[in-house]
Amino acid sequence: MVVLIPHHSSKSTLIACIESVENTPIVVVDDSPSGGLSIEGVDIVRTQGGVGFAQAVNQGLEYCMGVGFEYVLVLNDDARLRPGCIRTLQKEWTDADGAIAPVLHETQGPVFGICMTSYGRIYLRRTAGPVQAVSGAAMLFRASERFDPMFVHGFEDVELCRRLNARGLQIRVIENAHCEHVGGGSIDRRSRTAQRHAMSGHLRLVQGSTQQAVAIALGLGQVVREGGPLNRLLGVVDGIIDHMRGDSTPA
């Protein structure tokens, strides 16, 4: 197994993430605008710069397969594994699994995976129980899998889990494995850009005019509920336009 870390901007956060990895090879995908990343003892894969989470991880997965790794733990560069997390995940993995993940500990509370309602609402599960998806912030799966490159930064993890589940594979959160996740290390989640990618990703994920209308309403409602800032409303509009154009180019 190898730990694959897509990196965008903060090197100090990345180093903290790397230091939390215990006795496991590490590959970092450098998706920063300037490039030139170098870290002793870590393999670096360079993208064109700013291609976004899904494409950066896919490039890293190709590299990992090429050097002989069968399983990959994708880990955000703003995440830190708690002691024993990797060992527990490896022990719990079965051939029936499509993706497994640790419990994520965020500022708002623990995350036990991702659920999706029949009408297209997607939400984080805050207590233990069955889930439809796990977060790409810390997600173990086969190196042969790929994210849909049309997703830029948001909902690509849910879409992949749906495909894995459709093939009869399990999606699970391992309750005795734990990971800290700061969130917003690559893109501020309250920014116009983050709202744009979240909106376009949600629209791409759901099918049918009813679910897409619900997705737009939920996006607008989230901005209002969280008190803006106002330019996040423009991000919702940006995301709708991106989806209509079939545009997956990062802003």
DSSP state of 82: P
Question: 33, 17 in Cβ contact below 8 A?
Answer: no
For residue 153, the one-letter residue type is: H
Question: 71, 1 in Cβ contact below 8 A?
Answer: yes
**Has this prediction a pTM greater than 0.85?**
yes
The structure tokens listed for 243 are 């989806």
Q: For every one of its 251 residues, what pLDDT tens digit does the chain have, with 9 covering 90 and above?
A: 999 999 988 899 999 999 999 999 999 999 998 888 999 999 999 999 989 899 999 999 999 999 999 999 999 999 999 999 999 999 999 999 999 999 999 999 999 999 988 877 889 999 999 999 999 999 999 999 999 998 877 889 999 999 999 999 999 999 999 999 987 556 676 788 878 878 788 888 887 778 888 888 888 888 888 888 888 889 888 888 888 888 666 65
Question: 176, 88 in Cβ contact below 8 A?
Answer: yes
Helix (H) or strand (E) holding 28: strand 26-30
